[in-house]
Each structure stands twice: as C-alpha cells, then as structure tokens.
Chains A and B, each alone.
Chain A
Amino acid sequence: MAATAIYSYAWLVPLALWVLLIAWSVLLLPVTAAVFVLLSRFSLFHPIQWISECTSLLTASSTIFSLVVLCGVVLITGLFNLEFYTLVPSIPCSRMALLGTVLHPRQCVHSLVYCTMGMLVMWCASVTIGGRYSTLGIPCRGSGFNNCIPVVTCLNEYHLFLLLAGAFMGYSHSFLGVVQNMYYVSFQPIQQYKYPRFKGCLPMVVKCSVIQSLYSARNFAALYFFFGYAPKTWISSTLHLQIDSSLQPLDSLTGLLDFSLLYHLTISGTFLYFTWYLTVLLFRIYVTEAYSFPVQSTFTEDAEQCLPKVLAETNTLVMKFFALQDLALLSQHSLSRRLEVFCLSQPGGHPHNWNAISRECLSLLSELTQRLVAHQDAVASNGRVKSQSASSDTRSASLSSSGKTPRLGVPLRTPGSVFKSSVGGVHSALTAPFTPDVDSPFSSPAIRRLVGQQEPRSPWFGTVQSPHIMRRGPKLWSASTGSSRFTVIPLHGLETPVNSCSCHTLNCSAQVKSFLAKRVLIVYLFNKLPEASSQALFADSQVHIWALQGLSHLVAASFSEDQFGVVQTTLPNILSCLVVLLEAVDRHFKLPHASSKPARAVCRMGDSTYKTLRFALRAALKTAIYKITTTFGEHLNAVNISTEHRKRLQQFLEFKE
C-alpha cells in the first residue's frame, strides 16, 4: 500500500474504481455491440451475405457514432452506480415506505435519466438494425385525390415503438433497482481474483438480461396494445408527421404479432439490459475487492492507515467494511500478521493493537445486542398493551415504543452513498424516513404529505404500525364512535341508528363503502411486510459476521501463538459478550416471522443476500463460540465468567447447541 493518508485514500478509491470500471465497460462495449449486430441481422439462409453485411456495418460511421453515444450511456451508468450504491440495504417496512422510496425526488431523477438512456440505447439499436426501424420519419404518400400529391413525411411507428420500449425498460430498470435493491453490494463468501470472478458471473448476467428483456418485452407489448395510441398521436401532432393509414397500426393484435418485431425488441432489450448489468457487475467486483491494511507501522505518519485505526473509523463506512474484512482474513490466513496483532508496543509493553481491535469488535457486537434487546422490548411492550384492547392506550404505547426504539450506531445504519464522509445533509434527511430505522411511517412529514387526505386525529392514526391491530382493521374503525371500550362493535351496530333516516341511508352506506375501500387500500399500503423489521435489524450484519470471525479466530490462534498472554485479559469479556449476543439472537428468532426463510430468488440481478444475513449471523456466532470452546476446552473453567454464562458455554463444550 502506498503511503497515502487515509483521507486522500477515501477519495482515491472511488476515483480509481470509477476510472477502471469505465475503462472496462467501454472496452467491453464493442464486443457486445458486435454480438448485437450479428444477432440482429441474423439470417439463416444467407450466411455469407449476413457476415459481409455485418462486417461492413461494424465499420460504418453510423455504428461508430452509436458507439460513442453508448460510451456516454456507460459513463453515466457508472456515475449512477457510484452515487447510488450502498453496503447497507434500505429495507422498506411497509408498501407505503416502498412507494415513498420510489417517488422520492432522487429516485425520480434516476428514473428520468434511465428512461432517457434507454431511449438513447434503443435509438442506437434501431439505427444499427436499420431497415424499417432506422428513422422516425419516413416518406410516404399522403392521402390525396391524384397521383401528383407531393411525398410527405409520415411517422415511422416501428422506430417509435422501439424508442418507447427503451424508455419503458429504462424505467422498469430503475424501478426494479429500488424493489430488488439492485444497488446493494454484498460481499462474497470467498475471495477470488477479478478476472475469474467476472468470467464466472458473466453467464449469470447474460441469463438475467435475457430473462429481464423477455419480461419487459411482454409487459411493454401489453402496455402498447392498450395505450399505444396516445404517444403516437402526440408525437405525430407535435412533429407534424402524418400517420400512414395504409400500414397496419402497431397497437393492434395483428400489428404486435409480428415475429421479427418482437425478436428485434427482445434482442435490443437484452443488449440494453446487458450494458447496464455489466456495469453493475463490474462495479460490484471492483468495490468488493479485499484490501490489506498493515497491522502496525514503524513510521508515525503511516499510523493513520493501520488496521486498528481504520477499524475505529466511523466516518467512512466502506473503510470499516474493508478493515473488518481484512481482520477476518488475517485471522484465518496470515500467521505473520496475527503475530503482529499479539505483539507488545515498544517501549511500554502494552498490547495496543490487540486492545484496539478487540475493543472495536466488542463494541460492534454489544451494539448489535442492544439493538436486538431494544427491538424485543418494543415488540413485547406492544403485545402487552394490545392485550388490553384499548385503542387510545395502544396509540400512545406504540408511539412511545417506536420513539424509544433506540437507533444506536447511526453511522453504520445510514443508507446511501458511503463514500461521502458526512452522511447528513439533504439526502439522508429525506431518505431516512423511508428506511425502517424510523419505525413509525407517520413520524415522517414526507409520508404525511403523501397521505394528505388523512388527518392525524383519525382513529387508526398511530395504530397502523402494529400488524396485530391491522388485522382487526374493520373493527377498529368503530372506535371513531368515541368509545374505546367498544372496539369490537360490528359495523351494523353503527348503521342501525342511521337507518332511521331513509334519505341518509344510501348516502351513508356509500360513504362507508368508499371509506372502507380506501381503508383496504391503506391497510394494504401500511401493513407491515413480514420479516422486514427482522431484515432491517440485521441489515448491516456483514460487519458483525466479520467481527465474530476475526475475534474467534484470533482468540483460537492465541492459544498457541500469543506469547505474552495479551488475549487472556480480554477473554472473559469476549466470552460474555458472545454469550449475551447469543441469548439476544436466540430470543429474536423466537419472534414471529423472524425465522421464516425468504423465497429463493430466481434469476435476478438484485442481490438478496441481505434477506438471509440474520441466519448467517446466527451461524457465524455459534461457530465463533465453538471455535473458542473447542480450542480452549477444559481451560475455560479457569476463565472468570458468571455462572449462567459458564452453563451456556458448558453446552457448547458438550456440543449440545
């Protein structure tokens, strides 16, 4: 590692990354373009003509120009990757929060840019395919009386079709990016060099882009069939292009059932998605590459970039990730660096390295423990108050409990671009309400604006966040009668007095109906997604897993490698911290939905590793304790820990966990 101070390093990494990434993507672009040209011009019966046409096309000036445009697209995609990627996924707790994320201004800009880029790519594709797709206006004969009518420009619907498809695919890419957490970057369980990893992932990317393109083509064809008329007339009226009535319109069944059109749509869509996915893939590969930090340095000016210092870094999240990953790797693979961790400082003889590393890991783990305990308390208090079935109490209790759910370790839990050393500012202030960190969606002004039709005094205000109450939604509505005792009054109880006035009956029932319908929609929107809160609690657990691995392997290695006994002093702390965390995790998995497995994702580019991080954390925790207990064996009896913890560790010694 060069002698670069950590501050500049934090800037250099993204810059170097971006340059490398763009270079790779641009280099790969002509290859994919050539494949695209070959496929789009494919003709089975004239192979020689096909090849010669393609070679002449590849060297034509229009193709070169298209390539330049595509390079621009790749450049912007790379920029967006860099800006949007996150190591801690934002997990919306309800559909409303998801909707809020999709409608967020930042996301809107993203969608708009992707729509434009999709149109650009599709324009390049249609120019490359040529033939009937090449231009927006084509000469045609207007409707006249004689043959001497001048030739006018008509709208080429095929071209328009492809352009709109590009915009549609751009939007769906942007939309799915939010829904599937496309910008979440997860770390692989194993380390690989970049090229083999790229090679290994390439088939997956091709498969994903083909599948995604097929889906998009289907959806777009359906959309165009129903609403294709509107953009067509709009374009033709703005650009004063006529619609050639002699041609079959495309928004009809016969027009759409054109095999070559659908083929070209799919091929171009695949090309489009492949360009984007490839950039995402390259970005992931580059960003998750492991770094190696020196454990200690002989020069004081380099001390800032040594592992203990970087571990304590709270500003740049990505540095913390890299440092913990490096810790986990060195604890398993590198004897010499482990010895550096265990050594004493000169002069003074203090184990500064080990102390700093263990302190940092332990604080991470105890922070997770506190987070879990707070969550359990919140759930437990909700449950207790709910049993009293007094909605006013529920309101205050659930509000206060959501308020008191502590957000410890804020620097780790803030979503967004992690290279920004300061995560405050407009962006985080705006996205934070949509992330599950703030349990109550109502605490956010943005959401309140979104549901403006609902005044905050409404009976179900504040109670919607409890899934238990939500399930009894229709009953709760009656609470608006004012009596909190009658929460189970059925609806007809309310309608009976109204019946006395016959002229009001129709009116009222219509109101009730519309209100209920609204409520169903709102219930649907605000209902908590199962598992989401559990996923959100463990969203950043990759660092905890690395901390566990690093700690346990270091402690196990210290059994034979630690000459000065530096680990012995912290061993009781470490053991009790692990056992306390284990108890918290065990209790968490007893909560409803916590132990249900998410469905396996089929083939999608979005990374869903975050959905299973809690299982990974549990496994890593148990393995870590086992690693220590099997290494130390009977010697653990000499360690000074409390009786309950010793009992629990005895279970591990007997392999009964």
Chain B
Amino acid sequence: MRSAGAWRDAGLYGLLDEITNSAEEVPRFLAVGSACVLALLRWASSFHGSLFPHLTLSSDEMVAEFSQMLDWSDSALRSFAWHPHTDKFAVALLDDSIRIYKSNSSATPTLKHRCQRSVCALQWKPLCGSALAVACQSCLLIWHVDPTSLSTRPSSGCAQVLSHPGHSPITSIAWSPTGSLLVSASPVDTAMMVWDVAAESAVPLQRVGGGGVTYLSWSPDGSRLLAATPSALFRVWETRMWTCERWPCLKGSCQVRKLRKLSITVFELMYAFIYFFKLTFFSQTSWDPRGERLAVLLKVIAVFKTRSSPVFELLPCGFVMGEAGAEPRFMQFHPHFQHGALLTVCWSDGRISHVPFYFSSAGLLGGDSPQQALASNTADHSSNKLYTEQIS
C-alpha cells in the first residue's frame, strides 16, 4: 500500500527508497536488492548530473531556479499574468491558490485544485475569454473560468489536467498567438510538448542537447518559438514544419540569474538581437507592446525609451523604485494599454503595483510627450494597497 503510494508520488526512486527504508518489514533480499538498484541509479544520475548540473536539484529547487519570478521559493507571489485582451489578471499565491482580478468587477475568483502545487507559470489563452493555463509541479492545468459567472470558487471540474510521464516539473508554458496550441517545457525533459488542449493530446518535440527546456516564448506573429535550455544553448523553432536552429548563447548562459550581474552595456549589445525577434526572451527584460518602452529589472527597474526607425535608439528614461526594502521580483507590461504603456511590478513584500506611462505613440506624433505617473485604479491589489512610484 505504502509502496504504491510512493510509486505514485515519486516514481521508481520513491518506491526503492520506501523499500530500502522499511527493511525490517520486507524480505531481506528485496531490501538489499532495492538498495543496490538505488545506489546504481544514483551513481548513473550523478554522472548525468555532472553533465547537466540542474538535474541534481530537487523538483522545488528546480522550479525556484527556473521560474520567471525571482526568489520564487520565499516569494508571496508565485506568478502573474495579464489577460492578453481585457483588463484582467491572474496571480498565483504562496498557498498554491490562484486569484483572478478584474477591472470592473469586485468578484475575485479563487482557483484551487488538488494537483495545483508549486505554480511556476501562468498564461491566459489568446483569443479566448476564459482559459488560463497553469504550470504546476506535476502537471499542466487548464482552468476554464466563465467570465460572466459570479462564483468565487470555481469547482475543480472546470479544470483540465494535462500530464505526460516524465514531463514535470513544468517551468514554462506558451500559448501560440492564435490560441490553437500550447507548448510546455520542463527542465528535466529534453522534449517539449505541443498540446492540443481540447483533445488533451501532446506531440513531443525532442532534441537531446541542452538537457532540458526551461523557457519558451512565441514571436508575436506566431512564426517562431524560442526554447531556452539550462546550458549554454537555445533553439529557435520555426512553427510551420517545426524544425529548429541551434543558437549558442551570447554570454555563456541563458539563465536568468546571471543576467542580474550583467551591466547595461551588455544589454545594449543584445538589443539588436532582441528587437530582431521581437521577443522578450529574457524574463526580466520586458518590452511594451508598442515597442517604445523597455524595462530592465536590476535591483531597481530601469526604463528606457526605444525607437526603431530610422535607426535604433535607446534612451535612458528613468527608474522605478519600490518602498524601502522592497525589491522587484517580476514585471510585465499591460498588453493593450490605450494611453501609452502600463508596467505591472510584483515586489518582494507581496505587493503589486501598476505604473502607467502616458505618452503618444512616436509613430504618430514623431516625439514623446512628457510622461506623468499617476496612481492607477485599474486593478485590485493583492494586499489591498495601491501605490505607484514616481518616475525620477
């Protein structure tokens, strides 16, 4: 009974561990045998792990390492996602629940599910009002939250559970811009899964090099998909026939952590590259949808004005700072803010702030109007406090 539970929870490892640990209850030869197999497996995996160090991490550590949210494990906010079309966002909290806030409704549905543990990423389905994909430790959940319903606790029957053996923990998910496909990635699985969500079937796309896939991002037109690996390599898939090109990473690693130590100049070198793909492929660099503001998360958030024509220009614009002691953990631009750009920042003290930038599009007027920062009233706050930072 216990062994079945161990098998279900932790696979072969768990089973062998359980047998070895309960040596007095099981026949001796079984205990010894399982201990030997366990040692052999550990040796093999340590060899494998020496090639790919991230494989030695535990599941939670891995999620923390590759999550978009910095310091994921002790952060009150686990993940954040704006809806691509409406004023609605979802926040994953430390207690593994997800809350949905809407701009014109006080109802905040709370999503809880048995399988919803260690939420690492959230994404709303494009061209859909209701579907929210959640990357969990063991599976992928697709919530269908009826936008017109007033219920605050949608039942777990509203969620589809998608799982594939060997494909967990999932650290990154990406809907195609047309909303027809969902791609998920796990650092331990060299294959990324292309899901047909309605049919609940997956097509694995396997490439061995790199030892896993940590981060996925579609290009806005849906023609390319970037897949970063834990090692010094990432791939760009074209999505017509699903072939890929290998790209070596610029600074040795695509890991998020290293980026914090990089200087601004390195970023400047990267712009051309980022802009070329129109990808915000490093999690903590965020480009607003019009391509006129670029936010870079360092100890504070640095904001740049960008202009692509006639020549690419990058002008420092200012910094966004939190309250004393609060560090930014995550940021995302509102996908369709009408008056300019709206940057949403998750801070280390569990607050979410919305920082609006009001400007007229450079393409229309040929210049920026002076910015002003205003308190935003568009969305609720997880700790019921709203504040914004003056942009210096």
Note all chain A residues with C-beta closer than 8 A to B86.
654-655
The smallest beta-carbon distance between B203 and chain A, in angstroms, is 6
The smallest beta-carbon distance between A207 and chain B, in angstroms, is 10
Check A421 for interface membership: any CB of B closer than 8 A. Answer: no
Q: Are B241 and A623 in contact (CB under 8 A)?
A: no
Q: Are A656 and B240 in contact (CB under 8 A)?
A: no
Q: Are B129 and A657 in contact (CB under 8 A)?
A: yes
Q: Are A332 and B200 in contact (CB under 8 A)?
A: no
Check B110 for interface membership: any CB of A closer than 8 A. Answer: no
Partner of A655, one of B129, B160, B196: B129
Note all chain A residues with C-beta closer than 8 A to B127.
622-623, 626-627, 630
Note all chain B residues with C-beta closer than 8 A to A600.
200
Note all chain A residues with C-beta closer than 8 A to B160.
597
Q: Which of A154-162, A184-192, A365-373, A479-487 sits within the interface? A: A184-192
Check A619 for interface membership: any CB of B closer than 8 A. Answer: yes
Interface string of B74-90 (1 = CB under 8 A from A): 00000000010110000
Residues 312-335 of A contacting B (Cβ, < 8 Å): 329, 332-333
Partner of A626, one of B128, B197, B242: B128
Check A200 for interface membership: any CB of B closer than 8 A. Answer: yes
Note all chain B residues with C-beta closer than 8 A to A200.
203-206
Partner of B147, one of A616, A619, A655: A655
Task: Place the interface of chain A in its size category.
Answer: 20 to 34
Partner of B198, one of A616, A630, A657: A616
CB-based A-B contact count at 8 angstroms: 86
Q: Are B180 and A188 in contact (CB under 8 A)?
A: no
CB closest chain-B residue, reference A626: B127
Residues 84-126 of B contacting A (Cβ, < 8 Å): 85-86
CB closest chain-A residue, reference B124: A655
Instruction: Decide yes or no: A609 and B199 within 8 Å by CB, A189-B194, A332-B178, A626-B128 being known contacts.
Output: yes
Q: Are A616 and B194 in contact (CB under 8 A)?
A: no
Check B56 for interface membership: any CB of A closer than 8 A. Answer: no
Q: Are A191 and B242 in contact (CB under 8 A)?
A: yes
A546–B180 alpha-carbon span in the complex (Å):
12
Check A620 for interface membership: any CB of B closer than 8 A. Answer: yes
A615–B201 alpha-carbon span in the complex (Å):
12
Check B179 for interface membership: any CB of A closer than 8 A. Answer: yes
Q: Are B199 and A615 in contact (CB under 8 A)?
A: yes
Note all chain B residues with C-beta closer than 8 A to A329.
240
Instruction: Decide yes or no: A189 and B181 within 8 Å by CB, A200-B204, A615-B198, A619-B197 being known contacts.
Output: yes
A243–B156 alpha-carbon span in the complex (Å):
63
Residues 620-642 of A contacting B (Cβ, < 8 Å): 620, 622-623, 626-627, 630
Q: Are B178 and A627 in contact (CB under 8 A)?
A: yes
Check A612 for interface membership: any CB of B closer than 8 A. Answer: yes
Check A519 for interface membership: any CB of B closer than 8 A. Answer: no
The smallest beta-carbon distance between B88 and chain A, in angstroms, is 8
CB closest chain-A residue, reference B202: A189
A549–B240 alpha-carbon span in the complex (Å):
15
CB closest chain-A residue, reference B199: A612
Check B148 for interface membership: any CB of A closer than 8 A. Answer: yes
Check B382 for interface membership: any CB of A closer than 8 A. Answer: no
Note all chain B residues with C-beta closer than 8 A to A221.
none
Check A613 for interface membership: any CB of B closer than 8 A. Answer: yes
Residues 577-610 of A contacting B (Cβ, < 8 Å): 597, 600, 609
Note all chain A residues with C-beta closer than 8 A to B263.
none
Note all chain A residues with C-beta closer than 8 A to B383.
none
15 contacts between A and B (CB under 8 A): A189-B201, A329-B240, A333-B240, A597-B200, A609-B201, A612-B199, A615-B198, A619-B198, A620-B198, A622-B128, A623-B179, A627-B178, A630-B85, A630-B127, A655-B86
| 5 further interface pairs, Cβ-Cβ under 8 Å (given A189-B201, A615-B198, A616-B198) | A188-B203, A190-B181, A196-B242, A619-B198, A626-B129
